[in-house]
Amino acid sequence: MAPIVQDAETPHYQMELTVGPVERMYTQFQAARLKPKEGEVIMSGHMAPMSVTSSTPTGVGMRHLELQVTNKDDGSPVPNAKVSITIIDSMSTQPVIVPVAVMHGVDEDETMLHYGNNVMLSPGHHRVIVTVNGDRATFDVNIPML
C-alpha cells in the first residue's frame, strides 16, 4: 500500500497525517542496541496492544498512522504536544481511541518527532479526528482493497 498523506491547518498548527505500511517500533534502548535500518523509535508512550485496535492477527490490516505537527508561524516541529487521535470507521459505531506514542524514524534525529501508532484499518472509509493542544482537525481516509 502506498502511503496516504493528507494535510490540515488549524489556528495554530499545520498538520500532516500519513497512513502507510505497519512499522516496526523500538524503545530507545532497543534502537541503540540493535541499530535497526527501518522503523520508529518510541520516545514516549508505547506500541498499541492488539486488543486495543483489533482482534485480527498481527499484520493483517495493520497500518502505521503518524501525525506531524508544526507551528503555523515558523514551521518548527511541536514537541511535547497534548495529542489525541480517534478513528471512526464507517462500518462501526464504536470509535477507536489510538494510544498516542511520540516517535521519530530510526534514520531521523529527535527533532523530527511525530505522533501516532500502528493501528488496525480495514479497507474502506475512516474518519480520523486529531486534537493537538486543543486545536482540532479531521481527516477522511479511504483504505483501498489489497
Task: Pick the most confident of 13-17, 54-58, 119-123.
Answer: 13-17
Q: What is the pTM of this model?
A: 0.88
Cell of 123: 479497507
Residue 43 has pLDDT above 60, yes or no: yes
- Residue 98's alpha-carbon distances to 11, 19, 24, 73, 130, in angstroms, are 23, 13, 17, 28, 10
- pLDDT recorded at residue 8: 98
Q: Give the pLDDT confidence of 86-139 residue by residue, as tens digits.
A: 999 877 778 999 999 999 999 988 778 999 999 988 899 999 999 999 999 999
Check residue 50 and give its pLDDT: 46
How far is the C-alpha of 45 from the C-alpha of 105, rounded, in Å?
A: 15
Stronger pLDDT, 115 or 58, i.e. the higher one: 115
